[in-house]
Chains A and B, each alone.
Chain A
Amino acid sequence: MTSDHTTTWLFGRLDLSSLPIWQAIQSPAISELIAGAAAMIVIAGAIAVIAFITWLRAWRSLWTDWLTSTDHKRIGIMYCVLALVMMTRGVIEAVLMRAQQADGLSGGFLTPEHFAELFSTHGTIMIFFVAMPLVAGVINYIMPLQIGARDMSFPVMNQISLGLTATGAVLVMSSLVFGKFSTGSWAAYPPYTGLAFNPGPGPDYWIWSVAIAGIGTTLSGINFAVTIYKERAPGMTLFRMPLFCWTVLCTSIIMIFAMPPLTVATLMLAADRYLDFHFFTNDLGGNMMNYVNLFWLFGHPEVYLLVLPAYGIISEVVATFSGKRLYGYTSLVYATMAIAVLSFCVWLHHFFTMGQSANVNIAFGIASMCIAVPTGVKVYDWMATMYRGRIRMTVPMIYVTGFFILFVIGGLTGVILANPTITYQVHNTLFLVAHFHNVIIPGVVFGLLAGIHYWFPKAFGFRLHEGWGRVSALLWIFGFSFAFLPLYVVGLMGMPRRSANFNDPAFEPLMLAALFGAALVLSALAALVIQIWVSVRDRDKLAAPLGDPWNGRTLEWATPSPPPHYNFAVLPQVKDRDDFAAAKANGRAFADTANYGDITMPKNTALGMIICAAATLLGMALVWYIWWLAMLSVLTIVVAFVARTFMLDTTYTIPADEISREHRAWLARVRAASPITRDRETDDVNQGLAVLELPETLKASR
């Protein structure tokens, strides 16, 4: 593939034949045309976005309010936007793959190489550039508010984390326009991804996008953990934290310890590919098994990194929409910590079939199964939270219901896969694909979507449209079920994963069902986009600026929506778990104080964007062997960092009277508004102020 490429000092190994568009013109077969069209879409999309921003005259605002902002709330929103854009690509690729396999009996319409590129980009994108940024985004927005902090401990580092994640995403997107992405799957096992077997730029795209984004995630983990340890409001002891914050703490610890093995593995693979090292090559003492261990030493904790915050969100959502205190808080905390610790002890279950002794498999099999205990406890705790509650079936609760029913199936198949004897049969089949989608989609994705619907009014001051939200949620639930439950059957029947085609006619009907499901998921995504569109259009009707649209229980609801840059006019004095619920019950909520003070906040900085741009160029330069550009970009990064250390004026102060003015204006609006009961929370009247509905008052009114 690369033998006909020549290397020039200016463009490295990049030339005309590396462009899919050029190849589509040269040999217009279906696969080439799809690749060419994808490249055109990326280019056209980029042009459209630029034109749209220009038309809105929003460049200045984009730069000063968003890209250079160090506000954890804005950074959180940018993470979510990035994730949703990437999710669109990931889902479209998924539908393409499903279409190919639905037609797989007759060979399909894509070349096997194109199919391989699709599952590699889909997997890489969905994990690193959809799930991770969505998790990071929600954490960024919510966690500081929940613990009563003004910002992250390291706001600039936070911005750099976002920049590095974006770099990875841009690199993956660039591979549509320049060259081709890896065909080596999201796990990129050598020696297949080594230089001998794949000399082209594909594996290099994978390496640099994942390595660079991974560094961003490590930094995020440090930031989240330090923020939780250091920035909690007075009185917010660890055991008063909302459960979501506990899950964030465990997730950030996982980030700190699980990302380095990935970074190391990718850099070692890079050393093999660029510097003639032999860590994982077949010859000269290399051994690919070391890569497999390092990768899953990251890979298994990774899935818990993703799902723990989702558990946190579910805990918040179930408690709020059941109008009840969370059942078994302490149990849930210990269950979360147990899962976080166990998640580092089970990586070997991803390769029970590598030939190690039965005793090793037994140890790791039992360890894997143990995770089922705390996970089961969690599910039962949430059910006990609903017990004797007053449950409202809002959009987040629909997602959570979908989670309960479907995630349990994923848990069941997880327990099945923990058994080495069964894994010998179903490993590497579509059974496994069904399993991990079954935990990732109902678990992580539904959890995050529930969280997004739950917290959207906090972030934007208006609720998301309820009707379209229901449509989307139901489409997700049924789409998932059709798309993946049949795959369990096909997997048990023995169809290998990553198959571009097959020759057993028995697979075909199930593959067609899966395609139907994927189409439903695509419409779910479309409904989500429509929902956002409709909500923005009707934002005045949906407005809930007073801040508490769901009768919330935790601190983030004690602020106006959207909250001011500094979050809290006066740092809250926390006296209780579920402090805001307690405050509302005993009349402490919405109190005015006399002691407003000046607030110092971090200034905007362009550092994150400079690093993002330079790291993107560095990635491209390394992929294409453009050495001068690589050196220039590294130099830019170093200079930017050093220059930043000379900047002493990095904060600004908001005077106390401005704060008191803003805060009192909000309090006045709260006092003037009429609170509503929960049966009207999805109506236009919901301004974000809740009536207290306690058992005593209910009895009295009956």
Chain B
Amino acid sequence: MGYNKAKQFSVLLLTAVILAGCSEQRSSFLDPAGPIAAAQRAHLIEVVGWTMIAVVPVFILVPVMLWRYRYRNTKARYTPDWGYSGWLELVMWGVPFMIVAVLSTKLWFSTKALDPYKPIASDAAPLNVQVVGLDWKWLFIYPDLGIATVNQLAFPAGAPVSLNLTSDTVMQSFMVDALAGQVYAMPGMRTKLHLLADAAGVFKGENVQFSGVGFTEQKFDAVAMTPEAFSEWVARVKSDGVPLDAQTYELLGASSTGAQVYEAIGTNGMPAGVIYFNQVAPDLFKKVIGRYHGGEPVLPANQPGAAGYVWQPLFNGSSK
């Protein structure tokens, strides 16, 4: 190609930053960018279609009844004591029952097929990412690559991504609409989500479970790249990143937005609001979960996001 990949990549990132929130950043499963979201949309349409069998008659019959049997219409029949008809009864119970039976079957199969815990079948090897929800930012750890980021989830398009999630503060809900929907991230627990993007693109990712005043800032870009661009990106994270050690992690734990963290430790090599880490303490994800299972109290001073967390004073305007 005529121009180098890094440039291409920065163009992509730039557009992502500028167009964040515009239609270029795809942000709804109605505009699906992967098989899961597409199946979810298809299921939605089917459910609406089947339910219409019961819904449309109401829209039609209510006005008809009100008009036809209005008080002043003395021509209409009036049967004040009629209150039962076996046939009608059968239809009234039978039709909704049949619809629900059909929908339940569909629900069964689609829930099995789209189970967020189920790995996505694919020829490509899955990319493992560990996700830690913090007050008001997401930490993405790539355990097999030894890197991590804040507020940017990059991955190769066409290959499944296998996410393990937890939270190191209150409960959050991780969602990438255009790809796979959401799953909760809860402290001391691990949940899973699998996603796959058909082609390169930038997708809105966010926390959708209210978690405090910075909640609406907890958004990130999920960026699907060509495999080459992804390797470039990994290389770039490794070269431009800073180490994620205990100190940095404590800083991340403070109640602050990605932009505030970027102000504190970001460098020019990182896109605005995004942090790159080129070294990650091994087993960090496990430790984040494990800290709540040690049988020792986790005091507010050591609890990321808590009111008494020691790092909090570093950032102004971010108290709970």
B-binding residues in A (CB < 8 A) = 1-3, 111-113, 116, 183, 185, 189, 191-192, 196-199, 282-284, 287-289, 322-331, 351, 353-355, 357-358, 361-362, 365-366, 369-370, 372-373, 376-377, 379-381, 383-384, 386-393, 401, 404-405, 408-409, 411-412, 415-416, 418-422, 424-425, 427-429, 492-494, 496-506, 678-679, 694-695, 698, 702
Contacting pair A424 B114 (CB below 8 A): yes
Task: Say whether B1 faces chain A, with CB atoms less than 8 Å apart.
Answer: no
Which stretch of B75-83, B245-253, B262-270 is in the interface? B75-83
For B305, the chain A residues whose CB sits under 8 A away are: 197
In the complex, how many angstroms separate the beta carbon of B58 from the nearest chain A beta carbon?
5
Contacting pair B186 A289 (CB below 8 A): yes
Closest 4 CB pairs of A and B: A424-B181, A355-B191, A376-B96, A283-B298
Evaluate whether A361 and B111 lie within 8 angstroms (CB atoms) in the complex, with A325-B80, A494-B204 already known.
yes
Q: Which of B71, B208, B209, B297 contacts A390 (CB 8 A)?
A: B71
Q: How far is the CA of A419 from the CA of B78 in the complex (A)?
A: 42
Contacting pair A428 B112 (CB below 8 A): no
Q: How far is the CA of A279 from the CA of B89 in the complex (A)?
A: 49
Given contacts A183-B213, A362-B112, A500-B215, 13 further A-B contacts (CB under 8 A): A1-B319, A183-B212, A196-B306, A284-B295, A362-B108, A369-B103, A391-B69, A419-B111, A422-B47, A424-B182, A494-B177, A505-B21, A694-B80
Q: How far is the CA of A702 from the CA of B200 in the complex (A)?
A: 77
Contacting pair A355 B297 (CB below 8 A): no
Task: Say whether B239 faces chain A, with CB atoms less than 8 Å apart.
Answer: no
Evaluate whether A323 and B80 lie within 8 angstroms (CB atoms) in the complex, with A197-B306, A387-B69 already known.
yes
Which stretch of B60-68, B138-146, B148-156, B228-236 is in the interface? B60-68
Evaluate whether A283 and B170 lie within 8 angstroms (CB atoms) in the complex, with A405-B59, A425-B29, A679-B71 already known.
no
Contacting pair B181 A331 (CB below 8 A): no
Contacting pair A355 B183 (CB below 8 A): yes
Nearest residue (CB) in B for A416 is: B47
Q: Which of B71, B82, B93, B95 contacts A391 (CB 8 A)?
A: B71
For B183, the chain A residues whose CB sits under 8 A away are: 353-355, 424
Q: Which of A326, A412, A428 contacts B173 (CB 8 A)?
A: A428
Q: Which of A289, A408, A694 has the most chain B CB within a 10 Å cutoff?
A: A408
Which residues of B from 295 to 309 have beta carbons under 8 Å from A?
A: 295-298, 300, 303, 305-308
In the complex, how many angstroms separate the beta carbon of A297 from the nearest chain B beta carbon?
18
For B206, the chain A residues whose CB sits under 8 A away are: 496
Q: How far is the CA of A326 from the CA of B82 in the complex (A)?
A: 8
Contacting pair A377 B92 (CB below 8 A): yes
Evaluate whether A401 and B66 lie within 8 angstroms (CB atoms) in the complex, with A116-B213, A328-B92, A358-B112 already known.
yes
In the complex, how many angstroms separate the beta carbon of B62 from the nearest chain A beta carbon?
5
Task: Say whether B30 faces chain A, with CB atoms less than 8 Å apart.
Answer: yes
For A420, the chain B residues whose CB sits under 8 A away are: 107, 111
Task: Say whether B271 faces chain A, with CB atoms less than 8 Å apart.
Answer: no
For A189, the chain B residues whose CB sits under 8 A away are: 170-171
Q: Which of A329, A354, A404 contacts B58 (CB 8 A)?
A: A404
Q: How far is the CA of A400 from the CA of B27 in the complex (A)?
A: 38
In the complex, how many angstroms separate the beta carbon of B163 from the nearest chain A beta carbon?
12
For B187, the chain A residues whose CB sits under 8 A away are: 191, 282, 288
Q: Which of A282, A377, A392 contacts B96 (CB 8 A)?
A: A377
In the complex, how many angstroms separate the beta carbon of B251 from the nearest chain A beta carbon?
19
For B308, the chain A residues whose CB sits under 8 A away are: 3, 196, 199
Evaluate whether A386 and B65 lie within 8 angstroms (CB atoms) in the complex, with A282-B298, A499-B215, A695-B79 already known.
yes
Which stretch of B6-14, B37-45, B125-133, B278-286 is in the interface? B37-45
Q: How far is the CA of A369 from the CA of B191 in the complex (A)?
A: 26
For B84, the chain A residues whose CB sits under 8 A away are: 327-330
For B55, the chain A residues whose CB sits under 8 A away are: 408-409, 411-412
Q: How far is the CA of A493 from the CA of B207 in the complex (A)?
A: 15
Q: How far is the CA of A426 from the CA of B301 in the complex (A)?
A: 35
Evaluate whether A112 and B214 lie within 8 angstroms (CB atoms) in the complex, with A361-B111, A362-B107, A504-B21 already known.
yes
Task: Say whether B272 faces chain A, with CB atoms less than 8 Å apart.
Answer: no
Contacting pair A198 B307 (CB below 8 A): yes
Task: Say whether B116 faces chain A, with CB atoms less than 8 Å apart.
Answer: yes
Contacting pair B22 A353 (CB below 8 A): no
For B85, the chain A residues whose CB sits under 8 A away are: 384
Nearest residue (CB) in B for A424 is: B181
In the complex, how many angstroms separate the beta carbon of A142 from the nearest chain B beta carbon?
22
Contacting pair B115 A358 (CB below 8 A): yes
Contacting pair A324 B295 (CB below 8 A): no
Contacting pair B62 A401 (CB below 8 A): yes
Contacting pair B82 A327 (CB below 8 A): yes
Contacting pair A198 B171 (CB below 8 A): no
Task: Say whether B48 faces chain A, with CB atoms less than 8 Å apart.
Answer: yes
For A282, the chain B residues whose CB sits under 8 A away are: 187-188, 292, 298, 303
Q: Which of B37, B59, B66 contacts A425 (CB 8 A)?
A: B37
For A506, the chain B residues whose CB sits under 8 A away are: 23
Q: How far is the CA of A324 from the CA of B78 in the complex (A)?
A: 9
Offer 7 A-B interface pairs, CB within 8 angstroms, sorted by A: A324-B81, A373-B96, A419-B47, A428-B209, A496-B216, A503-B20, A695-B78
In the complex, how many angstroms separate the beta carbon of B138 from the nearest chain A beta carbon?
14
In the complex, how many angstroms separate the beta carbon of A553 from the nearest chain B beta carbon?
10
In the complex, how many angstroms separate the beta carbon of A152 from the nearest chain B beta carbon?
30
For B104, the chain A residues whose CB sits under 8 A away are: 365-366, 369-370
Q: Which of A287, A361, A391, A494 contacts B70 (CB 8 A)?
A: A391
Interface string of B189-213 (1 = CB under 8 A from A): 1011000000000001011111111
In the complex, how many angstroms separate the beta carbon of B110 from the nearest chain A beta carbon?
5
Contacting pair A404 B48 (CB below 8 A): no
Q: How far is the CA of A537 from the CA of B62 in the complex (A)?
A: 36
Task: Say whether B259 faces chain A, with CB atoms less than 8 Å apart.
Answer: no
Task: Say whether B100 faces chain A, with CB atoms less than 8 Å apart.
Answer: yes
Task: Say whether B74 faces chain A, with CB atoms less than 8 Å apart.
Answer: yes
Contacting pair B173 A404 (CB below 8 A): no
Task: Say whether B220 faces chain A, with CB atoms less than 8 Å apart.
Answer: no
Task: Say whether B287 faces chain A, with CB atoms less than 8 Å apart.
Answer: no
Contacting pair B61 A383 (CB below 8 A): yes
Nearest residue (CB) in B for A351 is: B184
For A428, the chain B residues whose CB sits under 8 A away are: 173, 175, 182, 208-209
Q: Which of B20, B181, B206, B305 has the most chain A CB within a 10 Å cutoff?
A: B181
Task: Say whether B226 faces chain A, with CB atoms less than 8 Å apart.
Answer: no
Contacting pair A326 B83 (CB below 8 A): yes
For B5, the chain A residues whose CB sits under 8 A away are: none
Contacting pair A386 B69 (CB below 8 A): yes
Which residues of B from 13 to 28 have beta carbons under 8 Å from A?
A: 20-23, 27-28
Contacting pair B307 A358 (CB below 8 A): no
For A380, the chain B residues whose CB sits under 8 A away are: 92
Nearest residue (CB) in A for B105 is: A366
For A112, the chain B residues whose CB sits under 8 A away are: 213-216
Contacting pair B92 A331 (CB below 8 A): yes
For B314, the chain A residues whose CB sits under 8 A away are: none
Nearest residue (CB) in B for A284 is: B297
Q: How far is the CA of A383 from the CA of B298 in the complex (A)?
A: 59
Q: How far is the CA of A377 from the CA of B169 in the complex (A)?
A: 46
Contacting pair B173 A353 (CB below 8 A): yes
In the complex, how many angstroms separate the beta carbon of B193 from the nearest chain A beta carbon?
9
For A498, the chain B residues whose CB sits under 8 A away are: 210, 215
Evaluate whether A383 and B58 lie within 8 angstroms (CB atoms) in the complex, with A331-B93, A418-B107 already known.
yes
For B306, the chain A residues whose CB sits under 8 A away are: 196-197
Q: Which of A197, A323, A357, A387 has the most chain B CB within a 10 Å cutoff?
A: A197
Contacting pair B40 A422 (CB below 8 A): yes
In the complex, how many angstroms separate the beta carbon of B117 from the nearest chain A beta carbon?
7
Evaluate whether A323 and B78 lie within 8 angstroms (CB atoms) in the complex, with A192-B211, A405-B59, A424-B181 already known.
yes
In the complex, how many angstroms separate the beta carbon of B176 from the nearest chain A beta carbon?
10
For A355, the chain B residues whose CB sits under 8 A away are: 116-117, 183-184, 186, 189, 191-192
For B261, the chain A residues whose CB sits under 8 A away are: none
Nearest residue (CB) in A for B306 is: A196
For A351, the chain B residues whose CB sits under 8 A away are: 184
Contacting pair A365 B62 (CB below 8 A): no
Contacting pair B208 A421 (CB below 8 A): no
